[in-house]
Each structure stands twice: as C-alpha cells, then as structure tokens.
Structure 1
C-alpha cells in the first residue's frame, strides 16, 4: 500500500467498510428485512441505510482530511457514531 501513500488509519477505515458489507450481506441473506421509515425522509431497507451511512461517513472522513489538521481518529469516531445512528434509527 506504500504506492498509494495510505496511512494505517485509512487502510483500517476501508477494511472495516469491507467487513461491514460482508457481514450485512450474510445477515440480509439469513434474515431479510422489510422497508421502514425512521428519521430519514424515505422508506429504507437495512442495505439502503448502510449505503447512506457509509456514503456520509466517507464524506466526513474526506472533509476532515481536506479541511482540518485534527487527528483522523476524530473523523473515524464521528463516522462510526453516524453509521450506528443511521442503521439503528434511520
């Protein structure tokens, strides 16, 4: 991964995303879900909420890298909280 100049945190971030996708796929196969409406303005399935959560988490991470000098663990923590919130109540 040195050719891409990735940090260990970035590699961890994308590894966690891949692991979540595999886990959610297995969970969806074993226990299919129905659409429901939470705080998001649309009816969503578990996969929809995962996609929305991961998309916004990616933007949070990129925003931290582009606009701040803060530790990237803060962006990771915010992304995890956001993803858990969307999956639970979205």
Structure 2
C-alpha cells in the first residue's frame, strides 16, 4: 500500500501542537496581576489618573470615570460626563 505523502507533515504538526499545548498550560511566575498605584497619561491626555483607584478616559467629548473593584478584580464604570454640556 502506498502511504499518503502528507501524513508525515500532519504528524509533525500534531506533535508541535501538543508540545505548544503542554508548554503553555503551566502557570507562569512572570505574570504579575498587581495593578500599578499610579497610571501614566497615554495618548495626549486621553487617560488620566484621578486618584489611587480611579481614572478618566477622554473620548469624543465625554469623560468616562472608572474605579478599580478589589473584590472582583475588575474596573467598574462609575459615571460619564459630557463636558461640552458643562462648559456652556
């Protein structure tokens, strides 16, 4: 019987995929889930720190305020301000 010529390539790909799967399954000690106390300003002031656990995102005339929730380890949306309405 004649073997499929692609069989060797497919077996090599399978072995590589198994190797990648098991090499990434171990938890890495390099991952740091602690958030910084202060945030830097990014993209010309579009993100600004508002205290220890809060920051503001400036997006198209709106200011979105977010706060870090330690219990759920996520950012929670607090409020949105339309600063054009407040100026006029």
TM-score (normalizing by structure 2): 0.25
Structure having the larger proportion of residues in strand: 2
Structure having the larger proportion of residues in helix: 1
TM-score (normalizing by structure 1): 0.24
Higher-Rg structure is 2
